[in-house]
Structure 1
Amino acid sequence: MAHLASGIRAGAIGAVGLLVCGVLTSCGGNGDGESEAGKSSSSASGGAGGTTAVRTAYAKTAEEETARMTLRTETSAAGKSAVAEGKGVIDLEDGDSAMAIKAGGQKVEQRVVDQVVYQKLPAKQRAQVPGDKPWIKIDLKKAAAEQNSGSSNQINDPAQSASFGKGITDRNTEKVGTAKVDGVKTTRYRVTVDIDKLSDSAALKRQVGPTVPMDVWLDDQGRIRRQQVTMNIKPTDRADKSAVPEKMTVRTLIEFSDFGTEVDADAPPAGQTTDVTGKLPGQRS
């Protein structure tokens, strides 16, 4: 589970945060690509069996080593919303990835190598970065240390939803039904995540409350094909630059397909990159 979470973190954080006002969250419309069976709820409880299936799914997915990944993010606040979508390949173990991301009418090429994000920005945004180089660089480990596990750090990170598996209990685990995800038959489970069971849970709990609902679609081999989390975020201390300034809804959708696909992600030449770690909106300097 930890390996999958760190892989998603490295593979997905970065460009979406730049293009969506520093708030990296995701969604997928309810029912997108689902069969009618997936849209209708079943009253049958998943119980301990369902809980075990969802918990073990993280390890089973990571064992596949690589996959194609799609990421859709949506943030809604004050009557406005921002959407970003990413598509590419990811190493589920170490997070090396290559993705194309679209948001706000802009396109960004992104690579992640050894926990460092590289983004090739559009010309308009490139002019706003000192050095006038085609790529920017964000060191995720350094950024995490500088932000001291701030509350927005957890919300802005799609890997946080991957680690939610640690908070699943037998209570409120429900088998919803079946659905097709990218042509693959899956079983959909709805679970309640206990925030107190997560690491660094205090800040997240202040903003989302004691529990968060999560839906997971598993294939017949017990692997994750889709995961969706919806969080209603409450604002915290406005004096904290990394805090969420107002109430917002965050929806997260991550999908995996083509397990075992080749992942070819190389860092761009150092002379073509500008290190912006800690210098972006929402980051501490």
Structure 2
Amino acid sequence: MTERQRPGATSARARPKGTILAAGLLVCVCVTGCADVAAEDARAVADPVQTLRQAPDVLLEAGSAQARTSMEMATGGTRVKIRGTGVYDFRGQRGQLTLVLPQQPTGTAEHLPITEILTPGALFMKNRGAGVPADKWVRIDTASLVDGNLVTGGATDPYAAAEVLRGTRTAIFVGRTEIFGVAVRHYRGTADLALAAKNASAADAVALKAAAKGFATPLVPFDVYLDDQGRIRKIRQRFAFVNGQRNRAVAVHSTTHLYAFGIPVTVTLPRAQDIYTGRIAEKQG
């Protein structure tokens, strides 16, 4: 009996060798890639705490990145959000951000964008506020701030945000997802600022120690997303400080996105003559 073939079907004998070879390669690549992903996911589930404590070191290896930041808090019944964009040099622990403050209810800008230069131990701000000449910078010693400048400047220093993870107490691997088209692993946990201070670089240790004492609690809940190289692509942290007037904890959510790793970054510090040394007028409210 003659075997009949279904219309559109091609026997293995008739199928071109190139087609069979290509299909075999695709299967091989898929199997190998899926096995690698499964192995990494298994490690992520097995020891997420250690993985996150090492995340700052991975940023040091990356060298630099572009950054987008946002900081949100509720004050006077109104939710305030400050956005920032800029660059950061992880090895030098220096960065520059431009912050855009919220608009007034009328829709007009409340303040010109603030330029910030982040350095170990000091924060420089331009367009800081009333009483400061437009061409002058304000220098703030971050160790003197009760929050170690994790929230005071309106943006968390990207490397300081990463160093908070050195104090990770508990963490779980939530699963895989994407951040702006990049495959990432999502972790959720809680970090201890006092522990982070013990394990952080010398530049951040003093500031984190101050934050551990100055916040309402040294515990920092977080969500963090690492790419397949272990680099932080997004980190969201919740800090709590005591409002002196109402004597209650106020939650501040800080989010940092990192991308374009390895780009050239040059941060120039203000000259001594460009730093304002007079009295800064604070807004009353």
TM-score bracket relative to the smaller structure: 0.5 to 0.7
1:156 to 149, 152, 158: 152
Aligned mates of 2:195, 2:187 — CA distance in 1: 19
Provide closer, same or farther for how the CA distance between residues 178 and 280 of structure 1 changes in structure 2, counting only shifts above 3 A: farther
1:108 to 111, 114, 117: 114
Q: How do 1:83-232 and structure 2 match up within 5 A? A: 83-104=81-102, 105=109, 106-112=112-118, 116-121=122-127, 125=129, 128-129=131-132, 132-140=133-141, 143-144=142-143, 147=144, 150-151=146-147, 156=152, 158-159=156-157, 161-169=161-169, 172-199=170-197, 204=212, 207-209=215-217, 211-232=219-240
Letter in 1 for 2:234: R
Partner secondary structure for residue 221 of structure 1: coil
Partner secondary structure for residue 165 of structure 1: helix
1:265 deviation in Å? 2.2
Comparing 60-69 with 259-268, greater Cα deviation is found at: 259-268
Checking the alignment, whether the CA contact within 8 Å between 2:66 and 2:258 is kept in structure 1 is yes
Larger radius of gyration: 2
Matched with 1:266 is 268
1:134 deviation in Å? 0.9
What 5-or-longer segments of structure 2 have no aligned partner?
1-41, 103-108, 198-207
Checking the alignment, whether the CA contact within 8 Å between 1:45 and 1:175 is kept in structure 2 is no
Q: How does the TM-score come out when normalised to structure 1?
A: 0.64
Matched with 2:70 is 72
Checking the alignment, whether the CA contact within 8 Å between 2:54 and 2:166 is kept in structure 1 is no
1:205 deviation in Å? 6.4
1:251 deviation in Å? 0.2
Q: How does the TM-score come out when normalised to structure 2?
A: 0.64
Matched with 1:254 is 256
Partner secondary structure for residue 62 of structure 1: helix
2:61 to 50, 58, 63: 63
Checking the alignment, whether the CA contact within 8 Å between 1:65 and 1:260 is kept in structure 2 is yes
Letter in 2 for 1:73: M
1:71 deviation in Å? 1.0
Partner secondary structure for residue 62 of structure 2: coil
The RMSD of aligned alpha carbons is 3.4
Aligned mates of 1:77, 1:186 — CA distance in 2: 33
1:228 deviation in Å? 0.6
Matched with 1:24 is none
1:247 deviation in Å? 3.3
Letter in 2 for 1:134: D
Checking the alignment, whether the CA contact within 8 Å between 2:99 and 2:116 is kept in structure 1 is yes
1:102 deviation in Å? 0.6
Superposed CA offset, 1:166-201 (max 9, x none)? 2213xx421112222232110000112235524366
Provide closer, same or farther for how the CA distance between residues 151 and 121 of structure 1 changes in structure 2, counting only shifts above 3 A: closer
Provide closer, same or farther for how the CA distance between residues 193 and 262 of structure 1 changes in structure 2, counting only shifts above 3 A: same
Letter in 2 for 1:128: G
Partner secondary structure for residue 91 of structure 2: coil
